[in-house]
Amino acid sequence: MKNLFFVLVFTMTSVFIGCAQKKAAETQSISLSVKEFQSAILQQGVQVLDVRNADEFKNGHLKNALLVNWNDPKEFQNKTQHLDKSKTVYVYCQAGGRSAAAQSYLIEKGFKVINLEGGLSNWKMNNLPMEGNANMAQMEVSDFEKVIKGNELVLVDIGATWCPPCRKMQPVIDKIKQVQGNKLYLLNVDGGNDMEVMKYLQFESMPTYIIYKKGVEVWRKQGIVASQDLEKALQ
């Protein structure tokens, strides 16, 4: 009887350890070399996440990358909740430190995350392609005002292609534009570049949507907006 008890305890312990090891293997941090990372992000539907700041991003980033600043905890938490947990997240920073920390955080939240070994510094050393232009011209406040005053109905969309909630909202904005047709002027403000206009608008976070009627601001909303709420505000 005693032997049977020990066998039972040993079996249960082995099963527990095996499950724990399997769980640890599933959640361990994975890093890829630049060549492996480059091949991986060419797949359809992958999520590429840049965890540096906006200035670093403008000076060069990977194609189709989303930007969420790891050094801004509130922004990082708010924006990464819009990522798709069913798809792998490929994360990078300048040298690999911030992205490793972000990887650990996201794994705890239930994401599968792969880090770029050595970051963009390693990427550049291998002469791999990047996107971005730090010298892109900004929108002038005077030009912004001309559009607002020169059109009956204007929807200002402050966002960026690298902003996860902005990208999530894009189908909603496309639908609104299609429904409204020529009645609506859609004015896109680049949240990573048009700094003077954003200061003028007292901008706080991306995305932000502002509606002007006959040159007067009548509605403003930050973050994800339901399609029906936006349509109602435009009526």
- Residues serving a catalytic function are 163, 166
- Do the Cβ atoms of 111 and 136 come closer than 8 Å? no
Residue 87 lies in a domain: yes
- Do the Cβ atoms of 83 and 76 come closer than 8 Å? no
Distance from the Cα of residue 117 to its chain's centroid: 20
Strands (E), 42-184: 47-50, 66-67, 89-92, 113-116, 153-159
Domain total of the chain: 2
pLDDT at 22: 38
Beta bridge partners of 70: none
CATH number at residue 46: 3.40.250.10
Cα separation, 51 vs 96, whole angstroms: 10
4 pLDDT more than 80: no
**Domain of 84?**
29-125
7 pLDDT more than 70: no
Q: What does the pLDDT look like over 99-149, one tens digit per residue?
A: 999 999 999 999 999 999 989 888 988 889 998 865 667 899 999 999 999
Domain boundary residue, one of 69, 95, 125: 125
Q: Can you tell me the mean pLDDT for 143-171?
A: 92
Q: What does the pLDDT look like over 28-45, one tens digit per residue?
A: 679 999 999 999 999 888
CATH number at residue 208: 3.40.30.10
